[in-house]
Amino acid sequence: MTDKTILVIGTYDTKNDELDFLADVIREQGGRVLSMDVSVLGDPTTATAYSKHDVAAEAGSSIAAAIAAGEENEAMQIMARGASLLAARLYLEGRFDGMIVLGGTMGTDLALDVCCSLPLGVPKYVVSTVAFSPLIPAERVAADVQMILWAGGLYGLNSVCKASLSQAAGAVLGAARAAQKPDMDKPLIGMMSLGTSALKYVIPLKPALEERGFEVAVFHATGMGGRAFESLAGQGAFACVFDFCTQELGNHVHGSNISAGADRLTNAGKAGTPQLVAPGCYDLVDIVGWQPVPEKWQDHQPRPHNRLLTSITLNTEERKTVARAHAQQLALATGPTALLLPAHGLGEWDREGAELHDPEGLAEFLRTLVDAAPDNVSIHRIDGHINDAVFAETALGIFDAWRAEGVIAA
């Protein structure tokens, strides 16, 4: 059976043996291989389907220009542009079904761009010596990329790296065979949330929206979930967004490593996608639970959530900083933007009687946000809590009005 084709990308001048091994395993499992060389200085042992010259030309450049740059970072950025454009074109032409890139830091840098050039649902595998590393910024991670740590992956083949490469070959081919691409004919709603112990609006909203003929994808607001949400929003994948947990923006503003990137709360708006926004869990900043609490938070009471994640409760001035950041991001929106502001709280733990109840801090946050809100945002004050029925009912009322006006395509 040779039912699926895998695009194999790498620097064949330095990793020819490893890339050939990867390709051989794919073929042994019944797959086909399309090879792409992204080297600059050297040449592969045998010709690849797409040469380094093809890649550079796709970027409107040449290998001679890349060499003349005299700096490997600039040269590899030329190759990254070319590989991204070429991979996107080849996929549209139906030339491959899944993609795998092999590399160290240089190859991984290029791989991240290539992954972002391909649509959701295309298997994208990166076999990297720096997989899962903090070197990789959240904003460069595609919504559905898969990463595999390439153990023993320098300077030639060995039994250790063969173990990683053989699994990677099986993974990408298996994914290409099993992949179910999203149904893009059904309008999709993107929703941000945390677990239902903190934010419960998803419970009434998801079935109500599905009854209206929409598919709902809920993203976990713990950094990478927001990154996936923003990546898809930037592609115009959503008919509407219910961005009701923006805590990741507070994380970013206050320097936490648990960040969805500097563009959190911007991509739906820039794409003109109608968006309903509420600053759920605005009063918390999450930090890495297994690391020492940063000096900045030494006078705050940490709340360990588990061994991975600890939450810090913000004081009033810190909340005001988060409020102004919301206004700054929302000002970039070109589509309809409704800001929902429940007066009685924005997370289950800040209800009256709960441990984070702080009516003064909440009132100051809301006041700052309203004062800073840009003119393109409509403000909807709600006499209730974000987890009360009135919040979901208000959101659905705005959504239904937008549908009736033709703002949201059904």
What is the per-residue pLDDT across 381-408, written as a single tens digit (0 to 9) for each? Answer: 999 999 999 999 999 999 999 999 999 9
Domain contains 310: yes
Note the pLDDT of residue 94: 96
- Check whether residue 226 and residue 122 sit in a common domain: no
CB 109, CB 80: distance < 8 Å:
yes
- Check whether residue 236 and residue 258 sit in a common domain: yes
Contacts of 186 (CB under 8 A, 6+ apart): 213, 214, 215
- Check whether residue 230 and residue 158 sit in a common domain: no
- Check whether residue 135 and residue 217 sit in a common domain: no
Is pLDDT at 179 greater than 70 in this prediction? yes
Domain contains 162: yes
- Check whether residue 213 and residue 118 sit in a common domain: no
Of 178, 206, 239, the last residue of a domain is: 178
- Check whether residue 210 and residue 240 sit in a common domain: yes
What's the mean pLDDT when you consider all of the chain? 95
Domain contains 101: yes
Is pLDDT at 85 greater than 80 in this prediction? yes
Domain contains 254: yes
191 φ/ψ sector (left φ>0, alpha ψ -120 to 50, else beta): beta
- Check whether residue 365 and residue 283 sit in a common domain: yes
CB 325, CB 249: distance < 8 Å:
yes
Q: How much of the chain, in percent, has pLDDT values that exceed 90?
A: 87
The pTM score is 0.86
CATH number, domain containing residue 259: 3.40.50.12030
Note the pLDDT of residue 143: 85
Of 156, 178, 200, the last residue of a domain is: 178
* Residue that has been written with the tokens 């209206």 in this structure: 212
Of 157, 178, 199, the last residue of a domain is: 178
CA-closest candidate to residue 188, choices 260, 242, 225: 242
Domain contains 358: yes
- Check whether residue 143 and residue 124 sit in a common domain: yes
Mean pLDDT over residues 44-64, rounded? 97
CA-closest candidate to residue 14, choices 38, 48, 50, 47: 38
Structural domain count, the chain: 2
Mean pLDDT over residues 369-382, rounded? 98
Note the pLDDT of residue 278: 98
- Check whether residue 163 and residue 193 sit in a common domain: no
Q: Residue 21's beta-bridge partner residues? A: none
Note the pLDDT of residue 108: 95
- Check whether residue 218 and residue 331 sit in a common domain: yes
Contacts of 38 (CB under 8 A, 6+ apart): 9, 10, 11, 52, 55, 76, 79, 80, 82, 83, 107, 110
Note the pLDDT of residue 2: 57
Q: Which helix (H) or strand (E) holds 330?
A: helix 316-330
Mean pLDDT over residues 157-164, rounded? 92
Range of the domain at 110: 5-178
- Check whether residue 66 and residue 120 sit in a common domain: yes
- Check whether residue 101 and residue 74 sit in a common domain: yes
Note the pLDDT of residue 138: 79
Is pLDDT at 44 greater than 90 in this prediction? yes
Q: What is the pLDDT of residues 105-155, one digit of tens each?
A: 999 999 999 999 999 899 999 999 999 888 888 788 888 999 999 988 777
CATH number, domain containing residue 109: 3.40.50.12020
Domain contains 410: no
Q: What is the pLDDT of residues 210-254, one digit of tens each?
A: 999 999 999 999 998 999 999 999 989 999 999 999 999 999 999
